[in-house]
Amino acid sequence: MVTLPTESYKLAGRRVLICRPEPEASRLARQFQAAGAEAHVFPLVEREPLPETPERRSTILSLDEFSHVIAVSPYAARLLLDELDIWWPQLPVGLYWYGVGAGTAKALAEYGLNPRKPDEGWTSEALLKLPSLAHFEGERVLVARGEEGRELTRKTLEARGARVTVMPLYRRFCPNYTSAQIHNALKTFAPDAIIALSGETLNNLIALCSNCSHNLYDSPVIVPARRIADQARAAGFNAPCIPESLADNDIVAAVAEQLTGRDGDTGRAK
């Protein structure tokens, strides 16, 4: 699919429910509005930084003992870099930096680093295909992430010989919406498409859907990976779709493609 400027996608009159966290949700909403769509921001995951602990400070201060540093999301990257600014005016040399996807790599690059990222994809599975993460001889790897998350990266790298330290930097939680707010988002707004860019977001959406009258299961739901597309289907959603990337413009393009049928069914989520 060729990526066009957002304004090229004709989404006038279409309603898009954006369930990702802020500030990303409002930024994406502006892209949809530029394409003529009506966007309703309804985050189903919020994030807040965790307070510093002596253990985390010790990990940061021993950064020079690590060989590889992985950030699992742009938010994790930004929080990590904020802490490094405090304790490391000049970063140790010789570290390999990684972003799970292009957005995370961009956050690291904006700090002046030269991060590695998957050639294709933006998942842990894609990251783990990088040759520099294929084999270890006891090297230390730091993984900056949320309080809870998938253990695939840690377990895989440990199986390959790495000594992995997971550093939780934030926690995720579902906002406490009222019944009226849920009804307004799912029933009254009646979205033509839904943006749910994490497994946790999708699970929270599924939980809300089970307690609210709606007609969403035939609406395209944009998800980040095949694994989550399978979760969506298992929950009853008939049209999960994986975009070309998680860049805002590609998400808009995926919705336009699904709603207009301009390019037909790409089969990416199959």
Encode pLDDT of 161-178 as tens digits.
999 999 999 999 999 999
The strand pairing partners of 172, in sequence order, are 47
Residue 69 has pLDDT above 70, yes or no: yes
* Range list for CATH 3.40.50.10090 in the chain: 6-45+175-260, 49-172
**CATH number of the structural domain 6-45+175-260:** 3.40.50.10090
Is-contact 147 173, C-beta < 8 A? no
Span 113-136, mean pLDDT? 89
The strand pairing partners of 156, in sequence order, are none
Torsion of CA 94, 98, 103, 109, to 10 degrees: 0
The C-alpha atoms of residue 174 and residue 21 are separated, in whole angstroms, by 10
Span 187-191, mean pLDDT? 90
**49-172 placed in CATH 3.40.50.10090:** yes
The continuous run of DSSP H or E covering 251 comes out as helix 248-260
Cis peptide upstream of residue 23 (ω within 30 degrees of 0): yes
Give 160's pLDDT tier (boundaries 50, 70, 90): very high
Q: What is the pLDDT of residue 8?
A: 55
**pLDDT above 70 coverage of the chain, percent:** 92
SS3 of residue 170 by DSSP = strand
Prediction pTM value: 0.80
Residue 252 has pLDDT above 60, yes or no: yes
What distances in angstroms separate CA 88 from CA 75, 84, 92, one per listed residue? 19, 5, 8
- Please state, rounded to an integer, the average pLDDT across all residues of the chain: 88
The C-alpha atoms of residue 232 and residue 253 are separated, in whole angstroms, by 20
